[in-house]
Structure 1
Amino acid sequence: MTSIKDARRRLPQELIDSLYDTFTEPIVDKILYGYCDEKYTTLRVNTLKYDIHSLMNYFKQINIKFERVSWYNDALILKNAKEKDIQKLDIYKNGYIYLQNLSSMIPPIVLEPKEGEKVLDVAAAPGSKTTQIASMMKNTGYILANEVDHIRAERLRHNIQLQGANIIEVRESRGEILGDEIKDYFDKVLLDVPCSGEGIITIDNPKSIRGWSLKEVEKLSKLQKKLFESAYKALKPNGIMVYSTCTLNKKENELVIDWAINNFKIKILDLNLKSNSFINAFSDGLHKDIKKAIRVLPSKEYEGFFVCKIQKLAP
């Protein structure tokens, strides 16, 4: 396995410096170990077609070892199977399960979509969280899944159809303009924004590092603020938004939320999720409630993530 020393050597120096500027040395070591570790295969059952107990019984029959997830009854961590092994199974081909990192499952769990609600997913492709939301809503209500890129939107449509999630409408549009076109309409909004991807780096995959730069971080933070404003406008008063990224720096996470607190009528809500891989967001020099958000550190089970739950206050 790649060592931390090798990771430091192979990662951009600007990224290493940024990590040490943000985190303590023990946390940076954890992050670097997470970059080096081979991830377990994780998945969730698609409850529109299947159930967790049938899935567990099936895995026992074919000798796939698994572990339950404390904060999500419908998710499993597989101990002796790779994604390519699972992709050969009929339950995968027929949309009974969805291969998805545990961190990616957190934003819909935090959003808590209910049956009959209207939900917006601002940047939806490839549909992991969108279809999870549909299953949590038991295919009742309405989901608008927005995606700006046509090819990614086609992938989104494919996954929606395979999962049998028939309450989802796909829209190909820039997320920044949604809020001006559809105001005060949605009960819930998932804002899983485009980001620099520091949480999904794997040291043996050069593609996961190639696009990262401090300049890109700066560019993305500006886009994230525009998307936040649009999502805020689309959300009903007293509605709930979840802001999430798969990156680790403060500029795309805490500083976006601090900016939002200073510019919109919002309240940061508590998250009731516990794991050794979760740490509180930073609030030093920022609004004190930002510490209610969580940062997920990369590990064998998790990709790096940031999740914040927000309520839009009534005028």
Structure 2
Amino acid sequence: MPLPDPFVARLQQIVPADRLDAVLASFEAPIATGFRVNTMLRDEEETISVLMDEGVPVQAVEGVPGAYAVPADSRPVLLASRPYADGHIYIQNVSSQLAPIALAPRTGDRVLDLCAAPGSKTGQLSALVGRQGEVTAVEKVRPRFYKLKANVYAQGATNVLPWMGNGAVYWRREPESFDRVLVDAPCSTEGRFRTHDPETTAYWSPRKIREMRSKQVKLLWAGIQALKPGGTLVYSTCTFAPEENEGVVAKVLRTFGDAIEVVDAGLPTRGPVADQTVPGLDAWNDRPFDSTLATTRRVLPNTLLEGFYIAKLAKRSSTVDKS
């Protein structure tokens, strides 16, 4: 099934002209299966050794610590492996792994994962902060919350505290309490479109983009309110739409002024991710964005990566009225 014409027309304005043909071709191509080793349960080097002994054609992803992939046609071999059966590896596209890496939590940090289900990034954050740290994982939709809990349990992430409720109001429970906040927002999922799977584009429309933007602004605002002064927040989506990406960040920057600053996203500077990364847009529909949004990053899709967007924000001063 072809991509929606309005989507292609928008993409022509978003993607650099010299990259457009390759991006369009990626929606038709089989994509590699990315994964990471679940270091909460097993040593990384040992696990990769077991996979290779079983004949799985594992490739480390240069520049992305802990990220691995196998070719699309080797996915069945990976899923039949002992490390997969034992829960020692977790299937996760490499693009998805970039948000926790960009957030760069330290051992012992308190982290808030504001839109946590199904738990892929939650488990990754859990491993990054270690047993001394803590990850609060928020999800408001009941079935997704229980999936999150099961997923976290299966990953051995005992330092995760799942909470069922609306992420847009969680900050009121613990204002300015977290060292790091991840807002991996619900979005129009354009980065996951596949021409061979009509379900991926079935619900897309310009109206859907507007609906998502409204939710995203509230979630990012709430994430900043939960973040300690001096802390770091990553906002990410798996979509191309500037309204859901630069537009959301720009809106929140206007709200908080000098208290919030866009900083370097901290993505890989070498390897396949670096090759597919472009700066954020400086304008959309003739409306200029703050110049600092060029520091945000859009990951263009190919046979390894799904489309993705990442903005990293630093909180310079308090934003919560304590009067």
Do these two structures clear the TM 0.5 threshold for a shared fold by scoring above it? yes
State the percentage of identical aligned residues.
Answer: 29
* 1:276 correspondence with 2:270: no
Structure 2 counterpart of 1:221: 213
The aligned amino acid for 1:299 is N
- Distance in 1 of aligned mates of 2:250 and 2:158: 37
Structure 2 counterpart of 1:190: 182
Structure 2 counterpart of 1:210: 202
Query: Using a 3 Å threshold, how does the CA distance of structure 1 residues 137 and 81 change in structure 2: closer, same or farther?
Result: farther
- The aligned runs of 1:241-260 (5 Å cut-off) are 241-260=233-252
Query: Using a 3 Å threshold, how does the CA distance of structure 1 residues 80 and 151 change in structure 2: closer, same or farther?
Result: closer
- Distance in 2 of aligned mates of 1:87 and 1:154: 23
Contact in 1 for aligned 2:31/2:72 (Cα 8 Å) = no
The correspondence for 2:312, drawn from 292, 309, 313, is 309
- Distance in 2 of aligned mates of 1:40 and 1:80: 4
Query: Using a 3 Å threshold, how does the CA distance of structure 1 residues 154 and 309 change in structure 2: closer, same or farther?
Result: same
- What SS is found at the alignment partner of 1:36? coil
- The aligned runs of 1:98-109 (5 Å cut-off) are 98-109=90-101
Structure 2 counterpart of 1:4: none
Cα drift, residue 271 of structure 1: 2.7
- Distance in 2 of aligned mates of 1:24 and 1:278: 11
Structure 1 counterpart of 2:261: 267
Contact in 2 for aligned 1:179/1:229 (Cα 8 Å) = no
**Equivalent pairs, count:** 307
Q: Which runs of 5+ in 1 are unaligned?
A: 1-6
Contact in 2 for aligned 1:110/1:271 (Cα 8 Å) = yes
Cα drift, residue 276 of structure 1: 0.8
Cα drift, residue 86 of structure 1: 2.5
Contact in 1 for aligned 2:237/2:310 (Cα 8 Å) = yes
* 1:297 correspondence with 2:300: yes
Worse overlay, 197-206 or 21-30: 21-30
Structure 1 counterpart of 2:321: none
- Distance in 1 of aligned mates of 2:72 and 2:223: 40
Structure 1 counterpart of 2:84: 92
Cα drift, residue 28 of structure 1: 2.6
- What SS is found at the alignment partner of 1:258? helix
- Distance in 1 of aligned mates of 2:141 and 2:37: 27
Query: Using a 3 Å threshold, how does the CA distance of structure 1 residues 81 and 19 change in structure 2: closer, same or farther?
Result: closer
Cα drift, residue 283 of structure 1: 1.9
Cα drift, residue 154 of structure 1: 1.2
The aligned amino acid for 1:38 is P
* 1:44 correspondence with 2:36: yes
Cα drift, residue 80 of structure 1: 6.7
- What SS is found at the alignment partner of 2:244? coil
Structure 1 counterpart of 2:123: 131
Cα drift, residue 292 of structure 1: 1.0
- Distance in 2 of aligned mates of 1:26 and 1:82: 31
Cα drift, residue 25 of structure 1: 3.5
Contact in 1 for aligned 2:35/2:94 (Cα 8 Å) = yes
Instruction: Tell me the alpha carbon deviations over residues 104-138 of structure 1, each in whole angstroms, 9 at most, x when there is no partner.
Output: 00000011111211110011011110000111112
Cα drift, residue 219 of structure 1: 0.8
Cα drift, residue 90 of structure 1: 3.0
- Distance in 1 of aligned mates of 2:121 and 2:248: 22
Q: Which runs of 5+ in 2 are unaligned?
A: 319-323
Worse overlay, 58-67 or 293-302: 58-67
RMSD: 1.5
- What SS is found at the alignment partner of 1:176? coil
TM-score, normalization by structure 2: 0.91
- Distance in 2 of aligned mates of 1:248 and 1:28: 13
Cα drift, residue 256 of structure 1: 0.9
- The aligned runs of 1:60-75 (5 Å cut-off) are 60-75=52-67
Structure 2 counterpart of 1:173: 165
